[in-house]
Amino acid sequence: MNHVTAEQKKEIDEIVNEQALTSRFTSVGLESILYQPIPVLDHGFIRVVDYMGTDQSIVQAARVSYGRGTRKTSEDEALINYLIRHSHTTPFEMAEIKLHVKLPIFVARQWIRHRTANVNEYSARYSILDKEFYLPSHNNIGTQDSTNRQGRGSAVEQAEGEEFVSMLRAASEQAHEFYRRSLNENEEGQPKSNKKRGIARELARIGLPLNYYTQWYWKIDLHNLMGFLRLRSDKHAQLEIRMYADAILEVLEKWVPLTFKAFSEHVLGGARLSATAVAFLRKQLAGQAFQRSDSKLSVREWNELAETFGFRSSSSNSLR
């Protein structure tokens, strides 16, 4: 895997092997992957660096318990389900996870908009950035979507995609060459020229493009993590951040399987209907309404409803 170096791999192995006894709640699922990088995109990864709590912590907090706070797994499951369904969010804030994430800067800029989290980013004022940049794979290069006006639509012709990637590669390499030259350092950290002093790191990096990788430690509670995942695993999110969200969803399932199940049932797989949509479905179930003209719904909302409930969507284009 080209996502971590041999030296980083060694550091990871060492920390994995230093085990200790704890009386804290422990997640067997997470311990088995602790510190291990899960690859995302061409050079990125997520890895779980620490966590606090398990499904049981949610039950324990909801009951303000003195001990485990739990009787049977089936009761835990019912309670967690109930809490999610009724927006009782505070018990889910009682579990916490910390990830080390390596990600392109343009993804980082979307990610950081989730403010109820803690972040410690690698400083390009203090350290030098590696020559690592993101190149999309050919089959993920789409044109501007005509319906969802902020997204990516169908794939462009292969030639157009290939040209884009090859130009992006050239530009990214050239940018790193310029970066190194400005710093006046070669790959070994030695001065390239004795006639120059080198530009400060905080300045030299401003010519690097947004596809360069950065990395950070990111810590978030389970409630806010689900908020992040709901929005970033959505099909309207940009593909690249969605791939991180998908990787975290797998971590979520390992960490808190009961919460993951309730979250899938009530949030990811559920639906939110407007008052007008509810009124239309009531009429439809009573055999009194059948098509969009009976509903006062916009074309766009009608099409989403039709997709959710499996009836025929309108033929006209939806517009925002």
Least CB distance to a second copy at residue 250 (A): 19
Contacts of 100 (CB under 8 A, 6+ apart): 45, 46, 47, 49, 215, 216, 217, 218
Size of the chain in residues: 320
Q: Which two tokens stand for residue 92?
A: 């889910």
121 scored as a contact of a second copy (CB under 8 A)? yes
Under rule CB under 8 A, residue 45 binds a second copy: no
**Strand order across the 213-221 sheet:** 38-40, 44-52, 96-104, 213-221, 118-121
Task: Using CB under 8 A, pick the residue from 100, 176, 232, 292 that binds a second copy.
Answer: 100
User: Binding to a second copy (CB under 8 A): which residues in 219-238?
Assistant: 219, 221, 231, 236, 238
Q: Is 170 exposed, middle or buried (0-12, 13-18, 19+ CB in 10 A)?
A: exposed
H/E segment holding residue 120:
strand 118-121
Question: In this chain, which stretch among 242-250, 251-259, 308-316 interacts with a second copy, using CB under 8 A?
Answer: 308-316
Footprint of a second copy on residues 166-185 (CB under 8 A)?
Answer: 167-168, 171-172, 174-175, 178, 181-182
Within positions 262 to 301, which residues make up the interface with a second copy, using CB under 8 A? 264-266, 268-278, 281-282, 284-286, 301
Alpha-carbon distance 93 to 58, whole Å? 8
Q: How far is the CB of 64 from a second copy (least distance, A)?
A: 4
Q: Which of 94, 249, 289, 299 binds a second copy (CB under 8 A)?
A: 94
Written as six digits, the tokens of 48 are: 């779980």
Q: How far is CA 276 from the centre of its chain?
A: 32
Q: What is the rounded distance in angstroms from the CA atom of residue 65 to the CA atom of residue 30?
A: 24
Which of 242-250, 251-259, 260-268 is the region at the interface with a second copy (rule: CB under 8 A)? Answer: 260-268
Q: At closest approach, how far in Å is the CB of 71 from a second copy?
A: 12
Largest distance between two CA atoms of the chain = 85
Binding pattern for the stretch 200-219 against a second copy, x by CB under 8 A and - elsewhere: xxxxxxxxxxxx---xxx-x
Taking the C-alpha atoms of residue 252 and residue 67, their distance in angstroms, rounded to an integer, is 24
Tell me which residues in 122-161 interact with a second copy (CB under 8 A).
Answer: 122-123, 125-126, 134, 136, 141-145, 149-153, 156-157, 160-161
Active site residues: 232
Under rule CB under 8 A, residue 12 binds a second copy:
yes
Least distance from C-beta 317 to a second copy, angstroms?
Answer: 15
